[in-house]
Structure 1
Amino acid sequence: MNEIELKFDVPPGRLAALEKEVRTASAIRTHLVARYFDTPDGALARNRIALRLRKEGRRWVQTLKAIGDGGPMVRLEHNVDLGMSPASSAPAVDAARHRGTPAGDRLDAVLAESGQALIETFCTDIWRIARLTRVGGATVELALDTGEVYAPEGPLGRRQASSVCELELELVKGPVSGLVAAASRWRERHGLWLSTQSKAERGERVCAVQRGLPLDVATKAAPMRPPRDLRGGEQATLDGPALQRAVLTICLDHLLPNASEVAGGNEAEDVIHQLRVAIRRTRTALRELEVLAPGAFDSTRWEPPLVEAFRCLGAQRDQALAKKALQPRLEAAGAPPVDLDHEVAQNAVASRGDPAKTAAEVARDPAFQAALVDMLGFCAGVESRAADVEAPGQAADLDAVRAVVRKRLNKLHRQVVRDGRRFESLPVEAQHRVRKRAKRLRYLSEFAAPLFPSKKLARYLKRLLPAQDELGAYNDQQVAHALYRKAVDAEPHAWYVVGWLDAQMPVQARACCDALARLSQAKRFWKG
């Protein structure tokens, strides 16, 4: 079966009030003790599959979960009730119990490829307070979980654990819109933020820390998956809203894990970078694909919080990256050392306008979180504003969808190529606009991958990606120039760097022109 749920992290200061509201007369408190299993090489974790044995009160249940096809809210789940076992023993795990189910088929394939036996990897000890609520014609289960995920004492001689404090809302029956409405109410009332980290993922991190392994938690963009309606072949029916939903789903698969990390306090440079890339990709999807089904999603509500989050997260990261990217070249040129740390911090504060606002607070912002919940609902099939009436100009079949996407790609390609011919003479703001359009052209090309021949797309991207890289390098130089120029009063040695950049920027502008000229000769994959 499919499990449709939303999960939120609970701030420690809000737990008491939240627990009081969840713990009504109908609420049930249950002690859940679970053991998780994987192969020694972590094959299940790599394929986002979780297999567990859990004691629920006095009964044991074996559960298998895997990622579904319906977006970040939807997971495949299969449960097998194993009854009661003696207090001193637990039943053995058996993958065959799930055979013949969609989740079981995925598990069998992964185990067959791995060729390794299952072993116990980590455990959870959770107290759950759960009850049902009705919102918007839907029945939703509220589950407040507190406790820990832990790995037994390992080779480094210490027990590793991660605390759990989260609210899960699972759709029992009724429309997804009711689940989204319930999630919005509880989020707003208690200052919660979306979390994509399952207990299984927490456990995998605990195991990695215990073994002294590095953690790479930044999530990168995945290739565009064909909408389900396209998987049946070229003659399959596909309309504009279906492609909109498929593209936004792949964007959220990128955006949500990074937003969850940052909101949880992880402000690592690579995580913030991926969050900004994901926001930019999502904004491109909203802007370029809105024409497929005008009015289907509420971009007027979603766009402003995305813009604000992107802006707030951007200043410090852009400036630090510009400095980092140039440092080896400056050292090679014999530049004297310049301390820019204070200047970077001051510019980040000035651009944000709020010296106390951290990246975590940006990701937890109520408007940003509301937009994420709304977009999740849209991807899961919540009725849109245009659901009852076909909007004028809506792309109603596969040919119409291709025609609309071709038109958008043509427009962006022409704009980028046109401005590329005169790039060196353009004002700085116009040059910046070329870079942003090149990014949008790349993202829209990737979104359109299911609609056009993959080999032609790959050849086109071989011309587009180098141009984007050159434009990015030029932008880094511009950012660095402004940064060092502001630092000259406090750091006179910064003048050396300013002069060096004055000499380098025309060279890099010419490199941008050359790369854009090569793009102009590329065969457009959407033609013919």
Structure 2
Amino acid sequence: MQEIELKFLIPQARLKGLMRQARVKSSQLTHMAAHYYDTSEQDLAQAGIGLRIRQEGDVWVQTIKAGGDGIAARLEHNTILDNEHVQAMLDANELMPDLTLYKDTAIAPALADFKLKKLAKKLTRQYLTDVARTTRLLIEDSNEENSSKERSTIEVAYDLGQIIHGSDDSQCQDIHEIEFELVSGELAFLFATAKTWCKRYKLCLSTVTKAERGGLLVKGHSYSPAVCADLGQLNVNQHSSRPAFVRAAVHNCLLQILPNSSAIAAGSRDDQHVLQLRIGIRRLQVTLKAFEKFSDQLNTEWHSILKQTAALLGDYRKLAHLATTIEPDLRQRGAPSIDWAIDLERIKITPMDTVRANDFQIILLELIEFTMSDPSTEPQANKLAMDKLPKILAKKHIKLLEAEQDFEDFQYNDSKRNGLIDSGLKNSDLINSDLEDNSVEQDNLEPSHSSSNPVHKVRRHLKDLRYVSEFAAPLYAKKNSKRWLKRLIKAQKALGQYQDHNYYQQCYQQKAFTDPNALYGAGWFAALLKDDGKRMQKRLARIQDSAMFW
């Protein structure tokens, strides 16, 4: 069967009120002790599979979870085990799952890549969970107009307990979360209820399962690595309708956004989590704007919150990246030490604050609900995305070419005024640059006040064209689209590096007013700009010469 579940972290300040709602007279308290299994190489976890044996009150249940949509839905198979047999295995310290249970079941395809007999021999208990679960059912109010319709039901489960290392019980982590699972009926009731509780108790979505947390505990890690965009999980083809296409694109963005926002909400300050979250939000913004006419269910109110969230994340990341990455790198090259701690302290809104903001959390729920809704019920369900994509791509391409021309004109005029023919732009024209990393994916959400800057215009339109091209590429010849995307990505990377070095140069130059040691950094990045500018212009020129793939 398919499990549809939403999991949330609970702020400490809202705990007492939430517990009063969870522990009503009709609620049930169940003690659950679970043993989780995997190979020493964590082969099951890498395949997205969780395998456990759990005591649920007086019953022992073997459960395997796998697949699903990567967000709220997963395949789940439960088998009630014989208590005497389980007790005998426990007494002999030989409690192990039975993989033969999954032959000829709906979960079997998830195990198809494994030789089950060989896998069974390699399984060991990796970690345990000891949880007190409080559950209650919420049933949809009856509607007089549809009294014959079955009422939807969801289960609310509040979990309090620990995850314990399988071979060292001194290593453990607290479990403190609430889950909403659809038992029967309509998805709309699940999301409406989740949003109500989210608003009331300031809950934060989390895609991190207990199995994932247990795996991290075994490895000695606090958070999973940052998640990049994975276009291999984009499920579109030439027969995709417009509503189905935009849902698939939004879903692909959420696969990047949710794991990174979950880590930040849980306390991660990792620069890569912030970077990849901002990239995911930018991809989502482009998706919602470019394909806004593909669905009647897209909410225009999402745009302002997404823009605000990205801006707040950017304000923190720019300076944090400078302090944690750029400054140490310069020190290794012989630069004197510069202290950016005071500058960081002046930023009042941290990434955790930003991600935990209630309006952002509500939008995430609405976006998940949108991706899980039925595209066939929309008016455009009989219209193909492929019929509209060439026009959208061509429009984005023209805007990029126009922005490049404005950029070239600006360079020429600025060079004439200032006698500069190499660097092109003055540093002051680039101070609003956002930070890039060395990966192909780059973070360049432009601040709103930079919209008139020709460099930012090129970057914005370059990103727009790239993301739309990536979503459309599976519908066209792979060879042509691959060449096209390769050139876009290289141009984006070159332009990003050019602006980053200008941004760093400005930061150190400004810092030099209070600390003369910062002049080293200002000079270092100023020296890099000449080659950066030439590389950027070369990459942009190659886009102008590229043949369109659509």
TM over 0.5: yes
Question: How far apart, CA to CA, are the structure 2 residues paired with 1:22 and 1:153?
Answer: 33
Mapping for residues 240-279 of structure 1, pairs under 5 Å: 240-279=242-281
1:276–1:44 CA distance, 2 compared to 1 (3 A): same
Of residues 206, 225, 229 in structure 2, which corresponds to 1:195? 206
- Name the structure 1 match of 2:152: 138
Quick one: which amino acid aligns to residue 22 of structure 2?
Answer: V
Deviation of residue 111 (structure 1)?
4.4
Contact 2:393 2:468 (C-alpha < 8 Å) held by counterparts = no
What whole-Å deviation, never above 9, does each CA across 1:453-474 have from its counterpart, x for those lacking one? 2222221222122211111111
- Name the structure 1 match of 2:161: 147
Question: How far apart, CA to CA, are the structure 2 residues paired with 1:114 and 1:266?
Answer: 37
- Name the structure 2 match of 1:397: 384
Find out whether 1:222 has 2:233 as its counterpart. Answer: no
Deviation of residue 123 (structure 1)?
0.9
Contact 1:35 1:124 (C-alpha < 8 Å) held by counterparts = yes
Of residues 158, 179, 184 in structure 2, which corresponds to 1:173? 184
- Name the structure 2 match of 1:352: none
1:168–1:17 CA distance, 2 compared to 1 (3 A): same
Contact 2:336 2:517 (C-alpha < 8 Å) held by counterparts = yes
Quick one: which amino acid aligns to residue 435 of structure 1?
Answer: R
Quick one: which amino acid aligns to residue 96 of structure 1?
Answer: T
Contact 1:402 1:451 (C-alpha < 8 Å) held by counterparts = no
Deviation of residue 84 (structure 1)?
2.7
Find out whether 1:484 has 2:476 as its counterpart. Answer: no
What whole-Å deviation, never above 9, does each CA across 1:45-77 have from its counterpart, x for those lacking one? 0011101111111111111111214x5111111
Question: How far apart, CA to CA, are the structure 2 residues paired with 1:127 and 1:331?
Answer: 50
Question: How far apart, CA to CA, are the structure 1 residues paired with 2:128 and 2:324?
Answer: 41
Question: How far apart, CA to CA, are the structure 2 residues paired with 1:342 and 1:72?
Answer: 37
What whole-Å deviation, never above 9, does each CA across 1:412-443 have from its counterpart, x for those lacking one? 55345545654734765210221222222222
What whole-Å deviation, never above 9, does each CA across 1:280-323 have from its counterpart, x for those lacking one? 11112112221323x3211x222222211211111232234357
Deviation of residue 134 (structure 1)?
2.3
Question: How far apart, CA to CA, are the structure 2 residues paired with 1:408 and 1:395?
Answer: 24
The DSSP-based 3-state class of the residue aligned with 2:515 is coil
User: Number of matched residues?
Assistant: 498
Greater mean deviation of Cα atoms: 244-253 or 434-443: 434-443
Mapping for residues 31-70 of structure 1, pairs under 5 Å: 31-69=31-69
- Name the structure 2 match of 1:431: 455
Contact 1:139 1:173 (C-alpha < 8 Å) held by counterparts = yes
Deviation of residue 445 (structure 1)?
1.9
1:511–1:190 CA distance, 2 compared to 1 (3 A): same
- Name the structure 2 match of 1:239: 241
Deviation of residue 264 (structure 1)?
0.8
Quick one: which amino acid aligns to residue 262 of structure 2?
Answer: S
Deviation of residue 505 (structure 1)?
3.0
Question: How far apart, CA to CA, are the structure 2 residues paired with 1:134 and 1:478?
Answer: 58
The DSSP-based 3-state class of the residue aligned with 1:16 is helix
- Name the structure 1 match of 2:283: 281
What whole-Å deviation, never above 9, does each CA across 1:83-128 have from its counterpart, x for those lacking one? 4336564564111212223322212324469856322211111111
Contact 2:404 2:458 (C-alpha < 8 Å) held by counterparts = no
- Name the structure 1 match of 2:74: 75
Greater mean deviation of Cα atoms: 19-28 or 324-333: 324-333
What whole-Å deviation, never above 9, does each CA across 1:157-212 have from its counterpart, x for those lacking one? x6311111111001111111111100001111111100111010011011111xxx
- Name the structure 2 match of 1:292: 294
Question: How far apart, CA to CA, are the structure 2 residues paired with 1:414 and 1:50?
Answer: 49
Quick one: which amino acid aligns to residue 297 of structure 1?
Answer: L
Unpaired runs of 5+ residues, structure 1, are 350-354
Contact 2:407 2:454 (C-alpha < 8 Å) held by counterparts = no
TM-score by length of 1: 0.86
1:63–1:370 CA distance, 2 compared to 1 (3 A): same
- Name the structure 1 match of 2:106: 102
Q: For the aligned residues, what is the CA RMSD?
A: 2.9
1:10–1:121 CA distance, 2 compared to 1 (3 A): same
Contact 1:99 1:105 (C-alpha < 8 Å) held by counterparts = no
Question: How far apart, CA to CA, are the structure 1 residues paired with 2:127 and 2:160?
Answer: 17
Question: How far apart, CA to CA, are the structure 2 residues paired with 1:389 and 1:462?
Answer: 36
The DSSP-based 3-state class of the residue aligned with 1:33 is strand
The DSSP-based 3-state class of the residue aligned with 1:37 is strand
Quick one: which amino acid aligns to residue 339 of structure 1?
Answer: I
Of residues 174, 180, 184 in structure 2, which corresponds to 1:163? 174
Question: How far apart, CA to CA, are the structure 2 residues paired with 1:43 and 1:245?
Answer: 31
What whole-Å deviation, never above 9, does each CA across 1:463-514 have from its counterpart, x for those lacking one? 1222111111111122113212321221124345445544543442232111
- Name the structure 1 match of 2:401: 414
1:439–1:111 CA distance, 2 compared to 1 (3 A): farther
Unpaired runs of 5+ residues, structure 2, are 142-150, 413-424, 431-452
Greater mean deviation of Cα atoms: 302-311 or 316-325: 316-325
TM-score by length of 2: 0.83
